[in-house]
Amino acid sequence: MPYVITSPCVADYSCLEICPVDCISPNPDDDAFDHAEQLYIDPDRCIDCAACVDACPVNAIYKQELLPPRWTHYAEVNRDYFRNAEKRIAVVQETSL
């Protein structure tokens, strides 16, 4: 089960800096970061290492099955972010190949 970023997130990107598989978005180097409400974990790429959990300064990251009830929908919010960003990511991957 992947990890999920919930609404207390303050977009401090310490999680993104420590993530070994680069599965957290948006990156502060992207323009999208400047309008981001929070960061999101790609559930399809997360390897469950939990490095982000300790890095988060506001303890906003939970293992999906341990999400507090008020934030269970954030599993879908995180997944949904990448579904909507898929097109953009595909373009980036193509150019970097």
Partner 1 sequence: MTTQKRPALRVAVVGAGPAGLYAVGQLLDQVDVDVDVDVLERLPTPHGLVRAGVAPDHPLKKRVIDNMFEFYLDHPRVRFFGNVELGDRVVPADLALWYDAVIYAVGASDDRKLGIPGEDLVGSYAAREFVAWYNGHPDFSDRQFDLSSERAVIVGTGNVALDVARILTCDLEVLRQTEIADYALDTLSRSKIKEVLILARRSHMQGAFNNPELEELGESSTVAVELRNATLTPEQQCLEQQLDWIDRRKVATLKKLQQRQLENPEKRIVFQFLTSPERILGDERVAGVSLQSNRLVGDSPDTLAIEGTGETTEVATGLVFRSIGYRGNALADLPFYDSTGTIPNALGRVLQHNEILPGVYVTGWIKRGPSGVIGSNKKCARETTSCLLEDLAAGRLKGDVLSPVAVEAELRQRCKALVTQSDWHRIDSAERLAGTAQSRPRVKFTDRASLLLAAGVPE
**Environment class of residue 46 by beta-carbon count within 10 Å: exposed (0-12), middle (13-18) or buried (19+)?**
buried
Q: Which residue, 7 or 44, has its beta carbon nearer to partner 1?
A: 7
Q: Does residue number 18 form part of the binding site for partner 1 (CB under 8 A)? A: no
Q: Does residue number 84 form part of the binding site for partner 1 (CB under 8 A)? A: yes
Token pair 């954030």 in the structure block, residue: 74
Distances (CA, A) of 68 to 5, 6, 30, 90: 12, 9, 30, 33
Site for partner 1 in 33-62 (CB under 8 A): 33-38, 56-60
Listed ranges 42-50, 80-88, 89-97: which one lies at the site for partner 1 (CB under 8 A): 80-88
Q: Does residue number 90 form part of the binding site for partner 1 (CB under 8 A)? A: no
Of these, 18, 51, 53, 77, which contacts partner 1 (CB under 8 A)? 77
Q: End-to-end CA distance of the chain: give it in Å, rounded.
A: 29
Of the candidates 72, 7, 89, 65, the one whose C-alpha atom is nearest the C-alpha of residue 40 is 7
The residues binding partner 1 (CB under 8 A) are: 7-14, 28, 33-38, 56-60, 70, 77, 80-81, 84
